[in-house]
Amino acid sequence: MKFALLGSLCLALSLALVPPVLGQAPARPKIVLLLADDMGTGDLSCYGATDVRTPQIDALATAGVRYTQFYANGAECTPSRTALLTGRHPQRMGGLECAIGTGNVGRYDDAIRLAEQSDLGLRPEDAVLAPALKALGYSTAIFGKWHLGYEPKFNPLDQGFDEFIGCLGGNVDYFSHEELSPLPVYLSGRREVSREGYMTDLITADAVDFLKRRRGTADPFFLYVAYTAPHFPFQGPDDADLARNQTAETWTAGSRDQYLKLVRSLDDSVGQILAELEANGHGDALVAFASDHGGFAPASNGRLRDFKGTTFEGGIRIPMIVRWPDRIAPGMTDPRPATLLDLTASFLSVAGAGTDLVSLLDGLPILEGVEWPNRNLFWRAKRDETTWSAIRSGDLKYVTRLEGGTWTEWLFDLAADPGEQENVAGEHREALELLRTSLRDWSAETRSRR
């Protein structure tokens, strides 16, 4: 079959381009995860953006590996962060395959039910990444956006993190640090705080302070820097006056120029964290930079179709860069399809978690120079009365949308049509049925029991 041949060729080429792994992996490497919010693949100059320069993130790519077909495991914030911190598909957790709404609102049937029970969030017993690293002797910290539950029982301090300063919800004013709801959302640990400053700068300052306190020590740490930028409201560092006049109607509105102010500020902050790592003797840390899903207009997803919220490529494909000095060769690109689930498995594997734990996860440890098996990747995103789903198998991708009782499906050959413009479902009925069946089986297997 045409697609099988394409998939085999793609796999052979990708194996020939595997980034070389240099030397022995250090015991318990220090790990830094820098996560942007709503950033598209067309918003970084190292991914081809022409209207913005991102020299600090570009330098990270130059020193490491840049992935060109990397995916989030959700089309919105909450499911992607659930996947990262559990290493498992967010559908397994219940209620978390859509972003939790401002003010602790569920946005589809299962999430609404859990919200009514005051139980909408990531349960501590489902968290894997931070607790496992902590058990291995890591100091753990998260600064920035949580978005995995407003209730006190979902606090990061109960999910393996030693330190937390950040916002509970999905979007905050960059200057007042408030949401469009009366709920307190900006916390230091378990306590509500009030601080002066631009949100991106405050997150960076907290991360840098964490690193400064580790100068002169070889003890491992996991630092998760979860930026709110460049998510709306589109307020740059010099836009305090604009922020004071922001309304609910203008909260999500902004020009491309306004949006890029947030991108440039984020890039500057990444540079500060990288500089501090070098200055305090932790320049050998494993550093990963990613977005939590595709961009939301006026973000750019390059030539990819659509934006966040859908399972087209523009909704789920993300920039991903990993720098690991003396372990990953610099200046590499990796075209193999992978997801944030693989990043979680990789962090745990290189930290020494062992195969008993890693094998229970839904991802693969991709940072250790192993060949990846040919596998299927799955997505589902529910919101209100709409459900998007997708499966990628080799170069073949099947996308479905159920909206208002109307079912639509597409089949794309991503090798020939990365922008997903030509629906070839009518030409390949056998492949279509195989992918339908695989997607249906996956949905049944990952059904939450919550």
For the chain, helix, strand, coil in percent to 5 are: 35, 20, 45
Q: Which residue out of 77, 167, 177, 282 is catalytically annotated?
A: 77
Torsion of CA 140, 446, 154, 315, to 10 degrees: 80
Closest by alpha carbon to 350, among 15, 31, 17? 31
Q: Are 223 and 31 in contact (CB under 8 A)?
A: yes
- The number of helix segments (H) and strand segments (E) in the chain equals 12, 15
Distance set, CA 294 to CA 87, 258, 322, 421 (Å): 20, 18, 18, 18
Q: Which residue out of 147, 231, 293, 428 is catalytically annotated?
A: 147
Round to whole Å and give the CA distance between 276 and 280: 6
User: Catalytic annotation on 46?
Assistant: no
Q: What angle do CA 61, 62, 64 make, to 5 degrees?
A: 60
User: Catalytic annotation on 282?
Assistant: no
298 preceded by cis ω (within 30°)?
A: yes
Reduced to 3 states (helix: H, G, I; strand: E, B; else coil), residue 213 is coil
Q: Which residues are tagged catalytic?
A: 77, 147
